[in-house]
Amino acid sequence: MRLRRVLVATDLSEGAGAAVRRAANLAAAHGAELTVLSVLPPSLAQDLSTFAGHAFDSHVATHAPAWADVRLRTGPVSGTILAEAADLAADLLVLGANGDRGFAGAFVGHTTANVAHASGCPVLVVRTPVNDASDYATVLLAVDDSDEARRAAEFGMALTPSAVHIVAHVSVVIGEHLLRLRGLGESDIDDLREASLAEIRPRIEAFAARLDPRPDTVVVGPGTPQRALPELASRYLADLVVTGSGSSTRFERVLLGGVAQSVLRHVRSDVLIVR
């Protein structure tokens, strides 16, 4: 994986400033071009638009390197970000997780989620503060044994070559709730979980063995993504979680897309979603 072009979109909030700094660090580390984008809604009055333009200049001077390309656009926020990413053929799109409703009024959770869901390139959602020279130290790769998960893991590992990489698979018994409603006891459900883990563990270990470089740790455990993955991220002090956004069939897109949405919603670290 060669990172050539990084696009970071900012709403001028402090949280988005951290995203700009993270994007600048990654672009510099990989010798990539960096574009910093802010989008003003069309409804913004002309006098406030001028003020916002000055605020954008100040924001860029504070958080971005001097060599960055900067773009201030007017239009629908999500659509404009996606169009710029496509126009640039960006290899990575970086967003803040939640804005403070800066002048662009953009990234208040749902906008970030919408862009991450629709983006044709990998999306890095930045939640945590970043120092000018900091790299990701520990990366949790949330996987199944599919080709799509392999590509996501490989992209995440290539993006963070100096990190410790942990492959994690969470195994859930499909229809647990319905089984309980039909009278199946917890011990029986535990037995089903153990059987599911016994079946999937060799496949995940084989999956990890095919990755290059080989990850440092492989973890296979029971639970739902929204509960187990945040716990694993906290246990291993992961500062980045990587997941795929879906694959070719509708069912797989719904299933894996649900995991990506769950990770984005519940994990407190940065999140990289790879389509």
| Domain limits for position 26 | 5-126
- Of 75, 94, 126, the residue that ends a domain is 126
What pLDDT, in 10s, does the model give residues 7-54?
999 999 888 999 999 999 999 999 999 999 999 888 765 666 777 888
223 with 149, same domain: the answer is: yes
162 with 121, same domain: the answer is: no
Q: What is the model's pLDDT at position 259?
A: 74
Percent of the chain past pLDDT 70, that is, above it, reads 84
- Of 85, 105, 126, the residue that ends a domain is 126
80 with 203, same domain: the answer is: no
Q: Per the domain annotation, does 229 fall within a domain?
A: yes
| Burial 27-50, CB ≥16 within 10 A → b, else e | beebebbbbbbbbbeeebeeeeee
152 with 233, same domain: the answer is: yes
- Pairing of the two strands 123-126 and 138-142: unpaired
Give the total number of structural domains in the chain.
2
d(CA 15, CA 96): 6
With a cut of 80, say whether residue 133 has pLDDT above it. Answer: no
169 with 43, same domain: the answer is: no
What pLDDT, in 10s, does the model give residues 192-218?
777 778 888 999 999 999 998 899 999
Mean pLDDT taken over the chain: 84
Say what the alpha-carbon torsion angle 82, 83, 84, 89 is, to the nearest 10 degrees.
Answer: 90
119 with 144, same domain: the answer is: no
Contact 245, 113 (CB under 8 A): no
Q: Per the domain annotation, does 131 fall within a domain?
A: no
Q: Per the domain annotation, does 152 fall within a domain?
A: yes
**Closest Cα partner for 139 from 40, 52, 57, 217?**
217
Say what the alpha-carbon torsion angle 247, 97, 113, 150 is, to the nearest 10 degrees.
Answer: 0
pLDDT band at 165 (very low <50, low <70, confident <90, very high): very high
- Of 105, 126, 147, the residue that ends a domain is 126
What pLDDT, in 10s, does the model give residues 62-81?
999 999 999 999 889 999 99
**Closest Cα partner for 275 from 251, 236, 240, 248?**
248
pLDDT band at 265 (very low <50, low <70, confident <90, very high): confident
